[in-house]
Structure 1
Amino acid sequence: MTVNPITTGRIQSAIALASSKTGVDFDYLLGQAKLESGLNANAKAGTSSASGLYQFIEQSWLSVVKKHGAEHGMAWAANSIGQSSSGRLSVGDAGTKAAILALRNDPNAASLMAAEYASDNKASLEGTLNRPASGTDLYMAHFMGLGGATKFLKTMQANPQASGAALFPAAARANHNVFYDSNNQPRTLSAIYDRFADKLGGAAAGASTTATPANYAAQALDMNGSTVITGNNESADDALAWATTAMNKFTGKTAQTAVNVLRPTPDTARLAYMMLARLGG
Structure 2
Amino acid sequence: MTLNEHLYDYFIEKTWGLTEDWYASLDKNDPEGIYATTDSRLIEGLKKQNYAFHQQFCTLFKEHDEHLFQEWIEEIAKDEQHLSTPIHYILREFFRTQEQYLNLFEAFVASNEQQYSPEALNEWRRKIIQTFEEVITQFSEQSHDRSMERLRAQQDMIQELSAPIITLGRQTALLPLIGEIDTDRAQFILENTLLQCSQNSTQLLYIDLSGVAIVDTMVGHQLFRLIEALSLIGVKCALSGVRPEVAQTAVQLGMDFSNITVKSRLNLWDSN
Give the TM-score normalised by structure 1. Answer: 0.22
**Is the radius of gyration larger for structure 1 or structure 2?**
2
Higher RCO (CA 8 Å, separation ≥ 6 residues): 1
The structure that is helix-richer by fraction is 2
